[in-house]
Amino acid sequence: MAQAAEEIRRIVEEVLKGTDISALLGSSPGPSPGCGVLADVESAVQAASAAQRELAALPLETRSRMIEAMRQAVLSNNESLSREAVAETGLGNLRDKQAKNRLAAEKTPGVEDVQPSAFSDEHGLTLSERAPYGVIGAITPVTNPIATITCNSIGMIAAGNSVVFNVHPNAKRISNRLVSLLNEAILGAGGPRNLLCAVADPTIESAGALMKHPGVSLLVVTGGPGVVKAAMGSGKKAICAGPGNPPCVVDETADIVKAGRDIVAGASFDNNVACICEKEVLAVEGIAERLKHEMRANGAFELTGQQIEAVTRLVAPNFKGPRTESAPNKEMVGKDPSFIAKAAGIDAPAGTRLLLMEVGKDHPLVWTEQLMPVLPLVRMRSADEAIDFAVEVERGFRHTAMIHSHDIEKLSRMAKLMDCSLFVKNGPCYAGLGQGGAGFTSFTIASPTGEGITRARTFTRERRCTLVDYFRII
Position among 137, 141, 191, 364 found at the interface with ligand NAD (CB under 6 A):
141
DSSP 437: S
Position among 49, 78, 140, 338 found at the interface with ligand NAD (CB under 6 A):
140
Q: State how far Cα 101 lies from the chain centre.
A: 10
Judge whether 201 and 167 are in contact, CB under 8 Å.
no
Judge whether 456 and 111 are in contact, CB under 8 Å.
yes
CB of 56 to ligand NAD, least distance (A): 28
Q: Which position's Cβ is nearest ligand NAD?
A: 223
81 binds ligand NAD (CB under 6 A): no
Residues in contact with 35: Cβ distance below 8 Å, sequence separation at least 6, in sequence order: 179, 180, 183, 184, 187, 193, 194
Nearest to 401 by CA among 198, 197, 244: 244
Position among 52, 93, 98, 143 found at the interface with ligand NAD (CB under 6 A):
143
Report helix, strand or coil for 12. helix
> What does the alpha-carbon distance between residue 94 and residue 136 come to, in Å, rounded to a whole number?
30
CB of 149 to ligand NAD, least distance (A): 11
Position among 100, 102, 130, 168 found at the interface with ligand NAD (CB under 6 A):
168
> What does the alpha-carbon distance between residue 188 and residue 180 come to, in Å, rounded to a whole number?
12
> Measured from the CB atom, is 153 or 444 closer to ligand NAD?
444
Please choose, out of 63-71, 104-112, 142-150, 465-473, the segment that lies near ligand NAD by the rule CB under 6 A: 142-150
CB of 267 to ligand NAD, least distance (A): 14
Judge whether 340 and 334 are in contact, CB under 8 Å.
no
Residues 211-230 vs ligand NAD: string with x where CB under 6 A?
-----------xxx-xx--x
- Positions 400 through 459 that interact with ligand NAD (CB under 6 A): 443-445
> What does the alpha-carbon distance between residue 146 and residue 3 come to, in Å, rounded to a whole number?
28
Straight-line distance from the first to the last Cα atom of the chain, in angstroms, rounded to the nearest whole number: 59
> What does the alpha-carbon distance between residue 81 and residue 83 come to, in Å, rounded to a whole number?
6
- Positions 287 through 306 that interact with ligand NAD (CB under 6 A): none
Please choose, out of 127-135, 153-161, 201-209, 295-303, the segment that lies near ligand NAD by the rule CB under 6 A: 201-209
Helix 204-212 with 41-57: angle, nearest 10 deg: 50
> What does the alpha-carbon distance between residue 447 and residue 423 come to, in Å, rounded to a whole number?
12
> Measured from the CB atom, is 111 or 231 closer to ligand NAD?
231
Position among 220, 275, 332, 402 found at the interface with ligand NAD (CB under 6 A):
275
CB of 359 to ligand NAD, least distance (A): 21
CB of 343 to ligand NAD, least distance (A): 20
> Measured from the CB atom, is 111 or 433 closer to ligand NAD?
433
CB of 261 to ligand NAD, least distance (A): 24
> What does the alpha-carbon distance between residue 69 and residue 90 come to, in Å, rounded to a whole number?
29
CB of 259 to ligand NAD, least distance (A): 23
Question: What one-character-per-residue DSSP string does 143-208 give?
Answer: SSHHHHHHHHHHHHHHTT-EEEEE--GGGHHHHHHHHHHHHHHHHHTT--TTSEEEESS--HHHHH
CB of 17 to ligand NAD, least distance (A): 46
CB of 146 to ligand NAD, least distance (A): 12
DSSP 114: G
Judge whether 35 and 183 are in contact, CB under 8 Å.
yes
How big is the site for ligand NAD, counted in residues (CB under 6 A)?
Answer: 27
> Measured from the CB atom, is 238 or 259 closer to ligand NAD?
238
Position among 36, 134, 243, 334 found at the interface with ligand NAD (CB under 6 A):
243
247 binds ligand NAD (CB under 6 A): no
Judge whether 355 and 300 are in contact, CB under 8 Å.
yes
Position among 139, 267, 311, 414 found at the interface with ligand NAD (CB under 6 A):
139
Position among 241, 248, 281, 357 found at the interface with ligand NAD (CB under 6 A):
241
Give the sign of the dihedral formed by CA 430, CA 434, CA 438, CA 440.
positive
CB of 270 to ligand NAD, least distance (A): 11
150 binds ligand NAD (CB under 6 A): no
207 binds ligand NAD (CB under 6 A): yes
CB of 272 to ligand NAD, least distance (A): 11
Judge whether 149 and 167 are in contact, CB under 8 Å.
yes
> Measured from the CB atom, is 188 or 215 closer to ligand NAD?
215
Nearest to 140 by CA among 176, 110, 106, 105: 176
CB of 8 to ligand NAD, least distance (A): 35
Residues that bind ligand NAD (CB under 6 A): 139-144, 167-169, 204, 207-208, 222-224, 226-227, 230, 241-244, 275, 369, 443-445
